[in-house]
Amino acid sequence: MRTLVSFFHVSLDGYVAGPNGEMDWIKVDEEIFGYVGDRVSNSDTALYGRVTWQMMEGYWPTAADQPNASQHDIEHAAWYKQAGKIVLSESIAGDELPNTTFISGDVEHRIKAIKQQEGTEILIFGSPSATHSLLQYDLVDEFWLFVNPVLLGEGMPLFKNVNGITPLTLVSTKTFANGVVCMQYKKA
């Protein structure tokens, strides 16, 4: 069975975006990009909500072709092109793109079926609304939380629609020079 893994930058008080969708508080640098790149390279599928997918689709297909492309851009663009993509969206259902599956309904059963297919794992990048949908069906198996040293006080919470108490086991932690701490949790 494939594992569904959620990757999120989160504030210390549990928000993934500010009250107006702000994410300018997120700290990323080459150290984090390298760490995530090593982790992502072993995966074969990404899952996005519509908003995040449109942002990714607008950037990654040509990111490596830009004259100022970083090593991270080159490597992640290559991964993005070959990775399977699952997009949860009611508004773009029925679109057809290579290597992309759109799910507009019956999320619980469709994702359960995909988790049973051949492959390594499914990574959720950002996409808080999609994660909220998956949490209500208890479909997320693992969390990689990049906790940023900031308190937002309000905004979009990461954990919403949680289906009861969900015990987790801390698997690993990594502290970055910029103060971000990555914590990997699996369902117990």
CATH of 3-187, one of 3.90.230.10, 3.40.430.10, 3.30.450.370, 1.10.3720.10: 3.40.430.10
The model's pLDDT over 63-95, given as tens digits with 9 standing for 90+, comes to 999 999 988 889 999 999 999 999 999 887 656
What's the pLDDT tens digit per position in 1-41?
899 999 999 999 999 999 998 999 999 999 999 999 888 98
What's the mean pLDDT when you consider all of the chain? Answer: 92
Phi, psi of 129, deg, nearest 5: -65, -40
This prediction's pTM: 0.90
The rounded distance, in Å, linking the Cα atoms of 170 and 76 is: 27
Structure tokens at 123: 């990574």
